[in-house]
């Protein structure tokens, strides 16, 4: 005989709304805490969701009991719906940038009495339901990110680090000023003599990459220069940047400066330059879009944009906790960034 669970139809938000006599939006706002809902309506929606066995009824019970006091931290391991497949979770775990964000988010969560859960890859709604948390921090969502759709369906509040490109009206996110960061870096390279600058841009559909590319294109157009934007794979970051740089350095004329946007890209650029017999910074200026130990301690140390991930992680945790408490925000949170000028862009 088939197990009963195999033939059970999952209850949807629309069915809960119909049974409670409210709109699906009201159900979503009630279970996610997105907006304030009339207390009587809220109680009716929560009771209806429980009675119908809505799979997010754990959230409904948590609303009455005060929540699980756990928030999830979701890495951007599925951000790579690129031509060469998806980025592996382990590759994201190995990046200093994301671990610094997670550490700062955890510290802030602990101060508010919340635990931070670093989640495995979530493939479907059942996996999401099984994890049991009140809200989620989603790092670097892609356009149409399925994690955000799953969280919304489950009525679980979320904030993002960087915005989703498909939701311009969304306010619940933390981001750096990516356009201004890129322009500051390019102004520095121009000031030290760069005239033909190439950008190794991340090939994922991420807001920080898109905004950096737009700023690079605008800056180049203002000066009447070609915008040398080279999409670079997010798989095996160092190797991908190395292969793209080898191709760039074979052109005539070749770039006199390369901005390596993704983490671990700079190592590939430096290796390619060495193999081509070029000295950095004498023959080629190199800069990084993300600061970290790999660029601080490379030979030579690489000029980099410091997005201050500690500030981003703490801000994201505070923003999510505020949302869980039913507070509202007028605008997204923009965290300051720094430009660290190092030997890779200091020609003698």
**What percentage of the chain reaches a pLDDT higher than 70?**
87
CA distance 181 to 339: 8
Class of domain 178-307+339-345 as given by CATH: alpha beta
- How do residues 327-347 score in pLDDT, each as one tens digit? 888 889 999 999 999 999 997
CATH number of 1-65: 1.10.260.40
Residue whose tokens read 């505070």? 318
Of the ranges 4-13, 67-76, 310-319, which is most confident?
310-319
pTM of the model: 0.78
- Quote the CA–CA distance of 112 and 90 in Å, as a whole number: 29
| Dihedral, CA of residue 32, residue 35, residue 36 and residue 37, to nearest 10 | -70
The reported pLDDT for the residue numbered 27 is 84
Where does CATH 1.10.260.40 sit in the chain? 1-65
- Residue ranges of the chain that CATH labels 3.40.50.2300: 178-307+339-345
| Per-chain mean pLDDT for the chain | 87
pLDDT, tens only, 126-183: 778 788 899 999 999 988 888 898 898 888 999 999 999 988 788 999 999 999 999 9
Helix, strand, coil % over all residues of the chain, rounded to 5: 45, 15, 40
- What are the tens digits of pLDDT across the range 170-224? 899 999 999 999 999 999 999 999 999 999 998 778 899 999 999 999 999 999 9
Per-residue confidence (pLDDT) for residue 34, from 0 to 100? 53
Distance CA 181, CA 334 (A): 12
Question: Would you list the DSSP string of 236-277?
Answer: SHHHHHHHHHHHHHTSSSPPSEEEE-STTHHHHHHHHHHHTT
The mean pLDDT value for 109-120 works out to 92
Specify whether the CB–CB gap between 44 and 20 falls below 8 A. yes
């Amino acid at each position: 005989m088939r197990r009963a669970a195999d033939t059970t139809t999952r209850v949807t938000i629309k069915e809960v709304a119909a049974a409670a006599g409210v709109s699906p939006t009201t159900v979503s706002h009630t279970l996610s805490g997105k907006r304030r809902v009339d207390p009587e309506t809220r109680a009716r929606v929560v009771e209806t969701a429980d009675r119908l066995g809505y799979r997010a009824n754990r959230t409904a019970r948590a609303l009455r009991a005060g929540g699980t006091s756990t928030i999830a931290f979701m890495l951007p391991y599925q951000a790579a719906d690129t031509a060469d497949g998806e980025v592996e979770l382990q590759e994201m775990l190995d990046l200093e940038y994301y671990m610094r964000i997670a550490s700062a988010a955890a510290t802030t969560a602990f101060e508010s009495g919340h635990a931070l859960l670093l989640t495995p890859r979530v493939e479907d709604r059942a996996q999401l339901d099984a994890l049991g948390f009140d809200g989620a921090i989603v790092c670097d969502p892609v356009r149409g990110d399925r994690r955000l759709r799953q969280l919304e369906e489950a009525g679980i509040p979320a904030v993002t680090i960087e915005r989703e490109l498909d939701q311009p009206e969304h306010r619940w996110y933390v981001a750096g000023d990516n356009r201004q960061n890129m322009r500051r870096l390019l102004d520095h390279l121009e000031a030290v003599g760069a005239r033909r600058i190439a950008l190794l841009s991340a090939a994922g559909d991420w807001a920080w990459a898109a905004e950096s590319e737009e700023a690079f294109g605008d800056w180049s157009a203002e000066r009447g220069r070609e915008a040398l934007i080279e999409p670079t794979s997010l798989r095996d970051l160092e190797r991908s940047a190395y292969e793209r740089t080898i191709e760039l350095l074979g052109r005539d004329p070749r770039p006199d400066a390369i901005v390596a946007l993704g983490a671990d890209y700079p190592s590939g650029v430096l290796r390619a330059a060495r193999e081509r017999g070029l000295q950095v910074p004498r023959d080629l200026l190199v800069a990084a879009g993300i600061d970290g130990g790999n660029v601080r301690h490379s030979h030579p140390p690489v000029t980099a944009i410091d997005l201050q991930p500690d500030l981003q992680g703490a801000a994201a945790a505070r923003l999510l906790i505020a949302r869980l408490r039913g507070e509202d925000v007028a605008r997204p949170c923009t965290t300051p960034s720094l430009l660290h000028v190092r030997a890779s862009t200091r020609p003698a």
